[in-house]
Amino acid sequence: MIRYLKNKEIDVVKWDECIRKSFNGNIYALSWYLDIVHDGWEALVEDDYERVMPLTVATKFGVYYMFQPYFTQQLGIFSTKRLNPDVIGKFIENIPKHIRYININLNSFNKLKANGLKITANKNHIQDLIKEYPEIAKKYSTNTKRNLQKSVKYKLSLMKNIKPELVIQLFRANRGKTIKKWNKTHYQNLSRLMYSAMYKGKGLIYGVFTESNQLCAGALFVKSNDRLVFLFSGSNKTARENGAMTYLIDTVIREFSRSQLVLDFEGSNNPNLARFYKGFGAKEIEYMSVEINRLTFPFKELFTLYKRFR
């Protein structure tokens, strides 16, 4: 039986144990992570936490809705047992009817029949790190190898466990200027995520410095459920010229090669980013987004606009 639970009704110990044991568990679905990215999250729980689905419910214009929280690429249904499209469909059907608009990402193990739903396929890129580093590096693209040669030429150096603020500041001063949707709260949540991940032994922060000791690229990786997720990064113009981000990712691959981990690049539908990730030998996989619109005029139009500017 699938039950709908409010936040205070959720047994977080059982919840996290389910995510830990799930064959498709990921860090985004752990209770502490959800608490940061979407305070007050709710849930669908089957039986004694054998299958679960976080519900990131909020209200706007007096309407209950669900959007994908920032910093969570994939949520959906997590299970300690077998999953199939019928089970996924059953969970979707059990999302309470008072939630009038839904636009969420499922995880790559959640296959869903359309059945009148609006479903979109998204691209992600992953790489197994089980092989020896030389064997992995042998499959690097010509451009990736060229960028690694640049990093040697420019005498870059890498430092672990730099302060989260340094990476965030680097991002805000560069790519962040083009992202108008992010406000002070988003950056505060990101900072909390980075510090919490490090405190719990789940976060790794790397920084790449120029020969003159200037930070030009930085990245946060989080580790959970045999996955190493490339969660967030920042870089500047100098990094694009000296191959810093290629050097950073190559260092991580070198460090974690011969492990049971999968490197999850967390994207991308962007062709340029996809090409960059494939340059390391990453393979493309898909995950689904599902949209359900139970709204009537004028809320239907309002949420269409809200989605665009959110």
Dump pLDDT digits (tens) for 262-290: 999 998 888 899 999 999 999 999 999 99
Q: 46-94 pLDDT, tens per residue?
A: 999 999 999 999 998 889 999 999 999 999 999 999 999 999 999 999 9
- Asked whether residue 309 carries a pLDDT value surpassing 60, the answer given is no
Q: In this structure, is the dihedral angle defined by the CA atoms of residues 71, 74, 77 and 78, taken in order, positive or negative?
A: negative
- Asked whether residue 140 carries a pLDDT value surpassing 60, the answer given is yes
Q: How far is CA 3 from CA 28, 54, 68, 74, 85, in A?
A: 21, 12, 21, 22, 19
Domain ranges of the chain: 2-122+287-309, 130-260
- Asked whether residue 303 carries a pLDDT value surpassing 70, the answer given is no
- Asked whether residue 304 carries a pLDDT value surpassing 70, the answer given is no
pTM of the model: 0.94
* Residue whose token pair is 């991580």: 252
Cis peptide before 298, with omega less than 30 degrees from 0? yes
- Asked whether residue 257 carries a pLDDT value surpassing 90, the answer given is yes
Residue 212 CA to residue 283 CA, distance in Å, equals 36
Name the band, by pLDDT with cuts 50, 70 and 90, for residue 115.
confident
Neighbours of 199 (CB within 10 A): 10
DSSP 48: T
Paired residues of 157 in beta bridges: 209
**Higher pLDDT pick, 303 / 78:** 78
- Asked whether residue 11 carries a pLDDT value surpassing 70, the answer given is yes
Contacts of 41 (CB under 8 A, 6+ apart): 7, 34, 35, 54, 55, 56, 57
Phi, psi of 234 (to 5 degrees): -140, 145
The answer to whether residues 292 and 115 touch, using CB atoms and an 8 Å cutoff, is no
pLDDT of residue 14: 98
Q: 161-219 pLDDT, tens per residue?
A: 999 999 999 999 999 999 888 899 999 999 999 999 999 999 999 999 999 999 999 99
Q: Which CATH superfamily is domain 130-260 in?
A: Gcn5-related N-acetyltransferase (GNAT) (3.40.630.30)
Q: Do domains 2-122+287-309 and 130-260 have the same CATH topology?
A: yes
Q: Residue 297, class by beta-carbon neighbours within 10 Å (0-12 exposed, 13-18 middle, 19+ buried)?
A: exposed
Q: Is the CATH code 3.20.20.70 the one for domain 2-122+287-309?
A: no
